[in-house]
């Protein structure tokens, strides 16, 4: 025992490989780091009070400075002074992607451009991109959110972080970079691609944390295995994922093959970038929302009316201290549910279930609703297939046809046609039992589905 009464032997050094997860699994959450304990563990009353104060100021800021919102609010007959409770947020107009697109590039900016210190954009598949700007204050808030979620995964200032996200206009690269630097980590800005070099860098620089999309992390894992790199003894111990949803099966596979702990975070360019919410080690299916910076609502995607707490719906976000581009009630189209009970990790900020589907990525196959995440869940539950897959939807003789291409593991591959056909039928049957619609299955040989260094594109809808 030391003079302070703390038994030093019981203190856990979370920078040791596997220690953070082992501590979490043993329920020793008080021994895990929390970046901003005063805020992240404050009472629900205090969180709501902070939110209300910021909401009132944010609506005033927005109304006074952005003509687009002033016009919308005037049309609806709502003034900033009408916002007196958190529930009053419902009086405000929704914002969707088109608002940002229609005002391209600077129409929604609330500060003069000489106050803007950074610009990002998300590439639109159609039309103009979505452009967002940040002033110094916005950059601070962003870094703060990233520092918090990094500590949730057990990242500490002594970590060496290899960034395998692309930099550029995409918010993921720089967003994570600044936040991890704020935490005190050493950044290794590798950028995406050149996979063998990524592994060489992990080895040369003693990288402890990898930032990547989950599909790219798996690719790095596979290439490393082929090169004979031993992930079990590697210095790498944490994966910070983002850029695309990470199904639980994929995460488990990466964790066991790379011997690392992986968490992922949620965010979107329109409201900030990555860092809106992050996964703690106490409940791997949920993510804590940075509630002092974001007011959340969950609404019925059809009607826009809030659903009861804890029920599934579309996430709507109002950033509470976003100065350069304020956004009110942004419709994310992401489906989730949010709970507010205290988490075992000690944090009190509300938790959202990880987003697996968007209201607009639902496929309608012969009248049945199918989400790509359902296909993903079935495939990751089958021994013998890899997490690499593709869904192709086409119209054949006036009928929808859905084909799932799934890549099999080398040990599943066989020269026997009968054996392969039996396996194919098994996959098709499992898919049908969950999707309730018949699916064509094609087995693809190991390595046959193209790997990507960024977001994987799983769905190809060829229908008109």
Q: Where do contacts with Zn ion occur on this chain (CB under 5 A)?
A: 280, 282, 343, 345, 347
Distances (CA, A) of 317 to 66, 228, 267, 410, 420: 18, 45, 10, 44, 47
* DSSP3 helix / strand / coil % (the chain, rounded to 5): 35, 25, 40
CB of 346 to Zn ion, least distance (A): 7
Alpha-carbon dihedral 113, 119, 124, 129, rounded to 10 degrees: 20
Q: Which is nearer to Zn ion, 153 or 220 (CB)?
A: 153
The Cα 337–Cα 297 span in angstroms is 10
Distances (CA, A) of 42 to 76, 77, 205, 239: 35, 36, 38, 28
The Cα 409–Cα 81 span in angstroms is 61
Residue 273: closest CA among 315, 238, 322, 312: 322
Q: Which is nearer to Zn ion, 131 or 146 (CB)?
A: 146
Distances (CA, A) of 322 to 225, 271, 393: 44, 8, 40
User: Do 212 and 423 contact (CB within 8 A), yes or no?
Assistant: no
User: Do 104 and 77 contact (CB within 8 A), yes or no?
Assistant: no
Distances (CA, A) of 12 to 2, 6, 155, 240, 353: 15, 12, 13, 21, 29
CB of 143 to Zn ion, least distance (A): 21
Q: Which is nearer to Zn ion, 163 or 286 (CB)?
A: 286
Q: Which is nearer to Zn ion, 41 or 57 (CB)?
A: 41
Q: Which is nearer to Zn ion, 111 or 280 (CB)?
A: 280
CB of 172 to Zn ion, least distance (A): 23
The Cα 365–Cα 374 span in angstroms is 13
CB of 303 to Zn ion, least distance (A): 31
CB of 95 to Zn ion, least distance (A): 29
CB of 318 to Zn ion, least distance (A): 23
CB of 280 to Zn ion, least distance (A): 3
Is the sign of the CA dihedral 62, 125, 315, 380 positive or negative? Answer: negative
CB of 14 to Zn ion, least distance (A): 15
Q: Which is nearer to Zn ion, 280 or 404 (CB)?
A: 280
CB of 341 to Zn ion, least distance (A): 11
User: Do 265 and 172 contact (CB within 8 A), yes or no?
Assistant: no
CB of 448 to Zn ion, least distance (A): 39
Contacts of 295 (CB under 8 A, 6+ apart): 51, 55, 86, 89, 317, 318, 320
Helix axes 195-205, 214-227, angle to 10 degrees: 80
The Cα 207–Cα 192 span in angstroms is 15
Q: Which is nearer to Zn ion, 120 or 347 (CB)?
A: 347
Q: Which is nearer to Zn ion, 163 or 343 (CB)?
A: 343
The Cα 214–Cα 290 span in angstroms is 23
Which alpha helices (DSSP H) does 135-213 contain, by range?
136-152, 171-183, 195-205
Q: Which is nearer to Zn ion, 191 or 248 (CB)?
A: 248
CB of 114 to Zn ion, least distance (A): 40
Q: Which is nearer to Zn ion, 280 or 456 (CB)?
A: 280
In order, the DSSP letters of 300-314 are -TTT-PBPPTTS-EE
Q: Which is nearer to Zn ion, 141 or 289 (CB)?
A: 289
The pairing of beta strand 368-370 with beta strand 363-365: antiparallel
């Amino acid at each position: 025992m030391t003079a302070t009464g703390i038994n030093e032997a019981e203190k856990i050094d979370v920078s040791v490989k596997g220690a953070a997860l082992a501590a979490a699994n043993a329920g020793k959450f008080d021994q895990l780091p929390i970046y901003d304990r005063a805020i992240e563990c404050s009472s629900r009353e205090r969180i709501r009070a902070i939110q209300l104060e910021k909401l009132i100021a944010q609506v005033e800021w927005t109304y006074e400075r952005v003509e687009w919102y002033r016009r919308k609010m005037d049309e609806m007959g709502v003034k900033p002074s009408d916002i007196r409770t958190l529930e009053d947020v419902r009086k405000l107009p929704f914002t969707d992607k088109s608002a940002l697109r229609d005002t391209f590039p600077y129409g929604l900016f609330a500060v003069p451009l000489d106050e803007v210190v950074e610009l990002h954009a998300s590439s639109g598949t159609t039309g103009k991109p979505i452009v967002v700007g940040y002033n110094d204050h916005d950059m601070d808030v962003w870094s703060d959110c990233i520092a918090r979620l990094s500590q949730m995964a057990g990242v500490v200032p002594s970590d060496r972080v290899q960034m395998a996200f692309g930099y550029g206009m995409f918010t993921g690269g720089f967003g994570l970079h600044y936040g991890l630097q704020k935490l005190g980590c050493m950044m290794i800005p590798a950028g995406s691609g050149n996979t063998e070099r990524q592994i060489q860098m992990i080895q040369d620089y003693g990288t402890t944390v990898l930032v990547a999309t989950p599909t790219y992390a798996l690719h790095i894992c596979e290439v490393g295995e082929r090169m004979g790199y031993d992930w079990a003894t590697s210095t790498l111990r944490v994966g910070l994922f983002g850029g695309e949803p990470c199904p639980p099966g994929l995460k488990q596979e990466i964790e066991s093959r790379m011997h690392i702990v992986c968490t992922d975070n949620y965010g979107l360019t329109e409201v900030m970038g990555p860092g809106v919410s992050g996964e703690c080690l106490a409940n791997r299916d949920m993510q804590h929302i940075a509630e002092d910076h974001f007011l959340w609502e969950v609404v019925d995607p059809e009607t826009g009316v809030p659903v009861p707490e804890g029920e599934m719906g579309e996430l709507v976000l109002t950033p509470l201290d976003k100065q350069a581009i304020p956004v009110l009630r942004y419709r994310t189209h992401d489906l989730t549910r949010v709970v507010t009970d205290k988490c075992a990790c000690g944090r009190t900020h509300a938790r959202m279930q990880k987003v697996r589907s968007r209201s607009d990525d639902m496929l309608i196959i012969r009248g049945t609703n199918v989400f790509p995440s359902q296909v993903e869940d079935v495939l990751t539950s089958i021994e013998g297939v890899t997490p690499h897959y593709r869904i192709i939807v086409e119209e054949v003789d006036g009928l929808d046809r859905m084909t799932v291409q799934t890549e099999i593991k080398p040990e599943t591959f066989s020269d026997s046609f009968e054996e392969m056909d039996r396996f194919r039928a098994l996959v098709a049957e499992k898919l049908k039992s969950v999707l309730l619609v018949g699916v064509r299955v094609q087995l693809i040989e190991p390595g046959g589905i193209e790997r990507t260094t960024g977001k994987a594109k799983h769905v190809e809808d060829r229908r008109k």
